[in-house]
Amino acid sequence: MTDCLFCKIVSGDVPAKIVRESAGTVAFRDINPQAPTHVLVIPRVHHPTVAELAASDAELLAELVREAHQVAVGEGVAETGYRVVFNTGAQAGQTVFHVHAHVLGGRGLNWPPG
Ligand code: AMP
Ligand code: ZN
């Protein structure tokens, strides 16, 4: 999608601090981090939400989750614990409608989240 911010990060038209790449995904640092580790993992192809991705390409969703774990390993938070968040819809705080997994860690994470 030409007007999608995260499609532009995939294409390189918008710069990002890339952490990891796989055949189907790109992981980059969130511009407004909410924890010492805050990385976004996105599919290279545009899907608006995690539910839509699950319905149309379950293997790509699995790759996204595997990559989220590898980000946590690389950031040194896989053992201490990390959270993977898919905000879905406006009331949940989704502002970019290109599905993205937030990988958060490196501090105690409150439950329930706000
Ligand atoms: P959400 O609110 O769940 O849709 O998450 C969108 C996330 O994208 C937010 O945490 C933003 O801080 C982050 N974000 C927005 N623009 C950029 C950007 N250019 N590079 C990296 N992260 C971004
Ligand atoms: Zn997109």
Which residues are within 8 A (CB) of 37 and not within 5 positions of it... i.e. 6 or more apart?
71, 72, 75, 77, 82, 103, 104, 105, 106
Judge whether 69 counts as a catalytic residue: no
* Per-residue pLDDT reduced to its tens digit, 6-41: 999 999 999 999 999 999 999 999 999 999 999 999
Q: Which of ligand 1's atoms lies nearest the C-alpha of 28?
A: 21
Set 46, 47, 69, 100: catalytic member = 100
pTM: 0.98
pLDDT in the model for residue 69: 98
Distance 100 CA to ligand 2 centre (A): 10
Measured from the CA of 29, which atom of ligand 1 is nearest? 21
- Report residue 101's pLDDT band, with 50, 70 and 90 as the boundaries: very high
Q: Which domains does the chain have, with CATH numbers?
A: 5-105 (3.30.428.10)
